[in-house]
Amino acid sequence: MDTTHRFNTDDDAGTRLDLLVARRADLSRTQAATLIAGGRVTVNGAPQKASYRVEPGDAIVVTVTPPDARAVTGEDIPLEVVFEDDDLLVVDKPAGMVVHPAPGNWTGTLVNALKGRGQQLAEGGGEERAGLVHRLDKDTSGLIVVAKSERAHRVLSKAIADRRVSRRYAAMCWGHLDGDTVTVDKPIARDPNDRTKMAVGASGRTARTDFVRLARFESCDLLRAHLHSGRTHQIRVHLSAIGHPVVGDDTYGGGGARRMVALPTKRHFLHAAWLVFRHPVTGATLDFRSPLPADLRVSLAAIAQMPELIAHPDPLEYLGFYRVGG
């Protein structure tokens, strides 16, 4: 089914049509230009060129036809399942695994692995997002909940929207926060200059993250990050916005110095360590904790200059990550 976007240009006068369509319809500039060339964008009822500079009061209509659906095949990929019943399962996702199929990553994803187990998955998010109620970035490790029944998907999705699912992450950032507790409440939208990235911007969706410093090292802070919303790349964008990007985050300014912090290539120090929510059917409180994985444990030991942390069963517990009320 086509998706239609309609908007006026009172606040965008002078902007190129392709740039405006990309920003307003959440598309890449190439996608926007293709739609314009194909007559799928009209200005006051008539097509225009991509270079057209919009005028005050222009009425723009963008019609987007979704790509043909592509079958998602099951694959025999090992998963670390930490909980499972008839309604849901909780997976400890490794870094490097994409959550769902998309152009450029049609295989090897978490959804491919879930389908490979031959189990029922909720279809609320469509075949490519079967069972998913939230996501993790490719290079972020940790806990993710998957709905098996439609009821579970509906209830869990609403619980996340209503902020009744507690998601806390371990993050290492460059530099030192201004205090032991910092809240970043800044809206997040697509970066208008790079559609593969997100950015803080007034036109974005509301986003809030609470940060608590667990340890201060020579060049970094170890943080507990508590999400109050679930925007794409939220923790990474918020930390970058306050000048303290996630260690190892090449996208948002935290890359480099990998040898100093003992991080492997294409890995950032961000781990979904703690997940608490009510079971969507029984109402029982579920509390799941994922120890810091081996690669981040090695990095933490190097940053802290405490080699003994490598052998610790869960350095996060040792550093007080789970000492929080509610």
Cα–Cα distance, 248 to 305 (Å, whole number): 18
Which of the following is catalytic: 12, 18, 137, 221? 137
Strands 270-278, 141-147: pairing kind: parallel
Whether the CB-CB separation of 271 and 93 falls below 8 Å is answered with no
Angle 163-166-171 from CA coordinates, rounded to 5°: 120
Which residue in this structure is represented by tokens 């790079």? 194
Helix (H) or strand (E) holding 93: strand 88-93
- Whether 137 sits among the annotated catalytic residues: the reply is yes
The 3-class SS string of 27-90 reads CCHHHHHHHHHCCCEEECCEECCCCCECCCCCEEEEEECCCCCCCCCCCCCCCCEEEECCCEEE
For 209, residues 6+ apart whose C-beta sits below 8 A from its C-beta are 183, 184, 225, 226, 227, 228, 229, 234, 235, 238
Q: Is 291 exposed, middle or buried (0-12, 13-18, 19+ CB in 10 A)?
A: middle
How much of the chain is helix, strand and coil, in % rounded to 5? 20, 30, 50
Type of residue at 126: G
Q: Annotated catalytic sites, by residue?
A: 137
